[in-house]
Amino acid sequence: MSKRARSTRSAAPKREKVRDVFVPRPFAGLVDEAEWVALRELVPAASAPLTLVPDLVEKHGERPVTLATVLPMAWPAMTKPDGRIFIGLQRHVQSGDVSRDLAVALLRALETPPGGTVAVPALPGEGPRLQDILVAGPLEITLHDGFDFWLDEGAGDDPNVQASLERANSSIYPTQRLAAARGAYWCQVPEKAHVRWVLPDDEDRALDALARLAGAGDLLLGEGTKFAGMFRAHGLLVPVWDLPREPAAAEWEEPLAAFAKRYADALAVDGPLDAAARRAKQGLLGRQLTLR
């Protein structure tokens, strides 16, 4: 997970009505909900193109929009002189609805002349959400080794920009997507590695499925692995496994695919948990953290 900047630059020409309703699952309804959560909480440097609904294209013209995990100074949005728009996913939540926050940043960017500074209100108020302004479809994600994709050609020659890039890049741990499941990522930290998988299912059903697997002793990814616990992020569960620092990410595709099959089978089971699964569920809950 990337280290988010602690300050943002935003301008609010007027104070708008506060959206005071907390939305616990803000990306629900988007085709790749689990990947949206993963990009916000797990992935340091990645991007994905977004497709606007036809009404917005007709109103603002063809302006390519790119979702980025992080933007410089944790900006909510920026525009390029050629009309391109970047939207930052990892930034401080300004209201109770992350989807609304991101949507208002995108809409304000569309109203900003190419190359201009995007003024995003401190509080977005009521209005469209991502689900209202994007064409439904899976995210086409590109992982990056650094944040150079922010830059226009030659911009990195500026020593201030270069210093900012070096600071941002120093926060990145090697991260790779796993093809065995959407929303699953391998990352390597100094002494070990992890697999973290954003489960796309209803939280209660996902927890019961994990409890059934734990009760049956089927929760590990293989020899030398450890189930480290799980956290809740934007209404979804994210189990985490500790792995040996070696082997590399590709070697965990097959174990994760096998686990995904066991998880799907457990998810399909109806009826109450047995005694072993109930005990396991209590243990899982005791090791659960919540991210907001």
pLDDT at 204: 95
Residues 55 and 163 in one domain: yes
Domains in the chain, number: 2
Given 138, 169, 200, which residue is the final one in a domain?
169
Please indicate, yes or no, whether residues 206 and 273 belong to a single structural domain of this protein.
yes
- Global pTM? 0.89
Judge whether 27 lies within some domain.
no
Token pair listed for 222: 């293989």
> What is the identity of the amino acid at 10?
S
pLDDT reported for residue 290: 64
| 124: containing domain | 33-169
Instruction: List CB contacts of 238: < 8 A, sequence separation 6 or more.
Output: 37, 41, 42, 196, 197, 198, 199, 230, 231, 232
Last residue of a domain, one of 169, 184, 217: 169
Based on the fold, state whether residues 93 and 50 are members of the same structural domain.
Answer: yes
Rounded to 5 degrees, φ, ψ at 210 are -65, -40
Judge if 108 and 141 occupy the same domain.
yes
**Is there a single domain that holds both residue 225 and residue 136?**
no
Query: Strands across the sheet with 226-233, in order?
Result: 175-177, 184-188, 193-197, 236-243, 226-233, 288-291
- Looking at the fold, whether 57 and 163 belong to one and the same domain comes out as yes
Residue 128 within any structural domain of the chain: yes
Q: Are residues 115 and 200 in the same domain?
A: no
- Residue 17 domain flag: no
pLDDT of res. 111: 97
227 and 113 within one domain: no
Residues 95 and 193 in one domain: no
Tell whether 52 and 163 lie within a shared domain. yes
222 in a structural domain: yes
We report the CATH number of the domain holding residue 180 as 3.30.1460
Within the chain, which residues score under 50 in pLDDT? Answer: 1-19
Q: Could you say which of 153, 169, 185 is where a domain stops?
A: 169
Is residue 251 a part of any domain in this protein? yes
- Tokens in use for 49? 């193109």
Please check whether residue 11 lies inside any domain of the structure: no
